[in-house]
A and B are shown apart, each in its own frame.
Chain A
């Protein structure tokens, strides 16, 4: 009988799956809480825009770019002191959420920015002509109109986070990727590796399909 179906290995697979969901889920939610407002601000704060603050926009843009250009595995070890400060420890699944979140937030900010910039400028003008405040324009026009694009953007983020989460094994983060490396690679158990890859494929496929179908449901532009 292949080792993959032994109760111990199965339990490891299930535990790792749960760890991955936990890390990606929490990092995704906190990353969105930071990245969404940041992305909206980046999309509305250039010269002549709703919250025009070109200098702040430039500085934030620089920070976001810096965070985005740091390879994830380097980010994980580089921010260990910060991780310890926030999570109380620098190793383990909960600790791994810190670098995942810090990688996710600027990524989300940029994809949200692109989604918001995709909204027709004419709608902003129409809302202004109705007497809407900048905050009302964000709340009633930009976010609702960008919802299909935002949904796709967040789907992309989650898929990327699943990929990133494979690297947090470096700090004892656990998860499916870590299982694949430790058992499949280091202990020469190719069937465990295969099982991990298959679970990841199904997971990513499921996330993408869910995102696509939600985005389609939100999109009212192509109804006939």
Chain B
């Protein structure tokens, strides 16, 4: 299925489908027209959590707003569950938006409505009766863990609680898709994890497909099955989160990945590093272990087999999508044994890179 989708062929499984999407904002005054998105192709498989990551200004906000028609593409096609969003009349578009929930960085709750009132709002807009609204809102507040805050105003809630109200509100009309616009960017790390766990729960229990945008790799790592990397209005890389994390292809992706895997050498080592060996210097070798090879006790196998001494300069082990992935930078005093180390490492399924000599 993965191949099928990434090949860009039409897929019944993709609930959100962007094809050749361009978005240009018209010139205003002295400002030239701005092309925010170029040639975007993206599929979000039904039931998935797909994260789009990019720096600010990369076009991710525009991208997510295309999905519910808050922005319309200059050209190309945006389909949600088979419906061409840009072809809809205003009234039909409003109807369609009820099946696409959205949550926001700054929550966007109405200050003069209680938690209950905020969750009730989309139902009121949809013309649902008062009795029905009650029946729908209370279980939703219960789902997001706020059954004791029903009558509280946003000013009385913490950031995490506000976002929980936002999530309940977005789910009120039983959407198939949930759009998350930097929903955790205004929250502290601990609260972020709780909100991400809630998104996972919603995705699994209510069968809601989630498309989220973020600038934080930790969010992608924590929650996304798939990731798309956007840079200067183009999607430069897309795939299963584990694959993208363990084998980033594009420079932007590598940057994001290193921000979380922490495989950049510390400053004092990096400046001493030279490309050629010289007397008294040790070789620094980066070993990346992932997939099958990651599970075996390869470090002790290496040292025993080659009879070498290895120092550990830097190490980082992580688990993405439930699979281990790590990077180890070792120092090898006996430079003569470098070729043997590289070869044996490869046999063990490790990726190797000689960083230099220090």
Instruction: Give chain A's interface residues, CB within 8 Å of chain B.
Output: 120, 122-123, 125-133, 136, 140-141, 144-145, 147-148, 218-224
Contacts and interface: CB of A to CB of B under 8 A. Distances in A.
A129 B102 contact: yes
A141 B350 CA distance: 57
B265 interface: no
B104 A130 contact: no
A201 B94 CA distance: 52
24 contacts: A120-B106, A123-B110, A125-B70, A125-B104, A129-B100, A129-B101, A129-B102, A129-B179, A130-B125, A131-B94, A131-B95, A131-B96, A131-B97, A131-B98, A131-B122, A131-B126, A132-B125, A144-B112, A218-B112, A220-B154, A221-B155, A223-B155, A223-B156, A224-B156
10 tightest A-B CB contacts, nearest first: A126-B108, A131-B97, A130-B122, A131-B94, A129-B102, A122-B108, A220-B153, A131-B98, A132-B125, A221-B111
Interface string B81-105: 0000000000001111110111010
Contacts of B341: none
Interface residues on B, range: 20 to 34
Given A125-B70, A222-B155, A147 B112 contact: yes
Contact of B108 (A120, A131, A221, A223): A120
Contacts of B98: 130-131
Nearest to B96: A131
Contacts of B110: 123, 141, 144-145
Contacts of A223: 153, 155-156
Contact of B97 (A130, A144, A148, A218): A130
Interface string B153-188: 111100000000000010001000001000000000
B243 interface: no
A145 B113 CA distance: 9
Contacts of A147: 112
A140 B122 CA distance: 10
A145 B124 contact: no
Contacts of B124: 140
Interface in B111-155: 111-113, 121-122, 124-126, 153-155
B192 interface: no
A133 B155 contact: no
B68 interface: yes
A145 B70 contact: no
A136 B97 CA distance: 15
B108 A220 contact: no
Contact of A131 (B125, B155, B169): B125
Given A125-B70, A130-B169, 14 more contacts: A129-B68, A129-B100, A130-B173, A131-B97, A131-B98, A132-B125, A136-B125, A140-B121, A219-B112, A220-B112, A220-B153, A221-B111, A223-B155, A224-B155
Contacts of B95: 131
B108 A125 contact: yes
Contacts of B68: 129
A147 B169 CA distance: 22
Contacts of A127: 121, 125
B209 to A, nearest CB: 16
B104 A126 contact: yes
Nearest to B97: A131
Contacts of B173: 130-131
Nearest to A123: B108
A163 to B, nearest CB: 31
Given A130-B122, A140-B125, A220 B155 contact: yes
A144 B109 CA distance: 13
A125 B299 CA distance: 54
B122 to A, nearest CB: 4
Interface-centre pick from A128, A129, A132 (highest chain B CB count, 10 A):
A129
